[in-house]
Amino acid sequence: MEDFETYISKLREADSPLVREMEEFAAEQRIPIMDRSGIETFIGLLRIQRPKLILEIGSAIGYSAIRMVSALKVASVVTIERDNERYAKAVEYINRSGFGDRITIIEGDALLLPDESLPNLQYDALFIDAAKGQYKRFFEKYSEHVAEGGIIYCDNMFMHGAVMIPDEEVPKRNRTMIRNLKEFTSWVMKHPNYETSLLPVGDGILVAVKKRD
Ligand SMILES: C[S@@+](CC[C@H](N)C(=O)[O-])C[C@H]1O[C@@H](n2cnc3c(N)ncnc32)[C@H](O)[C@@H]1O
């Protein structure tokens, strides 16, 4: 029996050769990009929300940025990446995708970036997909740039199951990161200014809708 990802892939419009090339490159180079079930769900949510301006923390090679703008006819994405090799590869792929006019990529550490580096101050959606132990800091720094009624999405909320096992069974090198991620999750789920859901798809996608005053 085929798995549901294969079943869905066959039903979907064929991915562009560039998207396939990026998926293969990421797999070969062990670059973590959103998995197929995660990106499929995320794009479905964005199609419902219809954001015009999206801010992404963690571009890697530009895969999710390209997938977002190709799915949303009028959306633009600003995306931040701190790793210079990934940034260079993302620039190359964005140019090849033909979406250079709708994707702005910024090289730098999102936690250190001054606000003036952002081309816009208000976004309809914020996608946090960078260092997993720093999600609370990304959220605190960038949530003020999300418009009321806007949505904050976070990927890898399950960290491949590591958040569900007892602390002492998590490999020592990942313990602080997993603890931070779990603390962020319980903090954001109770945040009074957001209505938050944790979706059990892909590697766990958090959806926090910013309440209107
Ligand atoms: C999971 S990957 C992003 C995948 C991408 N969103 C996709 O699905 O195609 C996370 C990326 O975040 C970057 N990153 C981690 N911490 C960062 C920070 N503080 N500022 C900017 N980028 C960061 C890493 O270098 C890595 O390339």
Residues 55-96: tens digit of each pLDDT:
999 999 999 999 999 999 999 999 999 999 999 999 999 999
pLDDT at 3 over 90: no
The ligand 1 atom at the shortest distance from the C-alpha of residue 34 is 8
Strand partners of residue 54: 77, 125
Give the other-Cβ count within 10 Å of 211's Cβ: 12
* 95-to-53, 86, 109, 132, 157 alpha-carbon distances in Å: 19, 14, 22, 28, 31
When pLDDT is cut at 50, 70 and 90, the band that residue 128 belongs to is very high
CA gyration radius for the chain?
A: 17
Q: Tell me the average pLDDT of the chain.
A: 95
Q: Which residues does ligand 1 sit against, CB inside 6 Å?
A: 32-34, 57-60, 63-64, 80-83, 86, 109-111, 129-131
Of 161, 164, 173, 79, nearest in space to 123 by CA: 79
Which of 33, 63, 83 most suits a substitution to test ligand 1, by most atoms within 8 Å of the C-beta?
83
Q: Is residue 199 pLDDT above 90, yes or no?
A: yes
pLDDT in tens, 20-38: 999 999 999 999 999 988 9
Ligand 1 atom nearest to 64, measured from its CA: 9
